[in-house]
Structure 1
Amino acid sequence: MDTATARHRLEVMRADLDRSIAVLRSEHPERENSAADAGSVLTDSDRVQAALASLERHRAAVEAALSRISAGTYGQCLGCGKPVPEGRLEARPDAARCVTCQAKHDRARR
């Protein structure tokens, strides 16, 4: 994928993520007085926080990909230095690693 196309797709992704994050941040579950309702509010709040964390991680990956475009290293695997396959970048424009290195990275983080 050429970098102009990648930049455009990443900028659209970032805008979509920003909108989703703004919506979740503006939601404030109502607090109820009963213990059962309080547990429900906590669960809803936990779900919102988990969704926000996921969206923010994805946004950080998009920002990192945009930085790699600016640095001229977009499409180069951060693990092995080889080119990230075109199909992977088509599917995940924010991909920083080839599939093999991503799997190793994910296992190391556990």
Structure 2
Amino acid sequence: MDDATARVQLESMLAELDRSITVLRGDPVAVGDRSAADAGSDLTDADRAQAMIEVATRQRTAVVDALKRLDAGEYGRCVDCGKPVPEGRLVARPEASRCVHCQGVRERRR
């Protein structure tokens, strides 16, 4: 993937993630006179929203890091081994920072 295409995709992803995070962080619904069951449902919804914010924030960090690698001329190279990240991987995940092998090693360590 050429740098210009990567930049457009990454900036688009960043804008979409920022919008999603903003929506998810919206003001909580006031409980007021609602029943305990409704309050419990709100807590579940809040927990779900918090989990979604955490995932979106991690993805946002990955996108910002990819833009930094692009600016530094390091985009498309694995941050661990320095080998090229396969084109197909970058098309599917423009924010990818590792080749398939190094990503697999990282995931097995978790």
TM-score normalised over the length of structure 2:
0.91
Q: CA deviation at 1:27?
A: 4.4
Quote the residue 1:93 is aligned against: 94
**What code does the residue aligned with 2:43 have?**
L
- How many pairs does the alignment contain? 109
Quote the residue 1:65 is aligned against: 66
What residue ranges of structure 1 are gaps of 5+ in the alignment? Answer: none
- Aligned-residue sequence identity (percent) comes to 60
TM-score normalised over the length of structure 1:
0.91
Q: CA deviation at 1:28?
A: 1.5
**What code does the residue aligned with 1:59 have?**
R
What residue ranges of structure 2 are gaps of 5+ in the alignment? Answer: none
Task: Please give the per-residue CA displacement for 1:51-97, whole angstroms capped at 9, x wherever unaligned.
Answer: 00011100000000000001111000112110000110011100000
State the 4+ residue runs in structure 1 displaced beyond 3 angstroms.
none
**What code does the residue aligned with 1:50 have?**
A
Quote the residue 2:25 is aligned against: 25
| 24-33 vs 63-72, which moves further | 24-33
Is 2:9 the partner of 1:9? yes
Q: CA deviation at 1:41?
A: 1.3
Distance 1:41 1:15 in 2: 28
The alpha-carbon distance between structure 1 residues 76 and 43, as it changes in their structure 2 partners (threshold 3 A), is: same
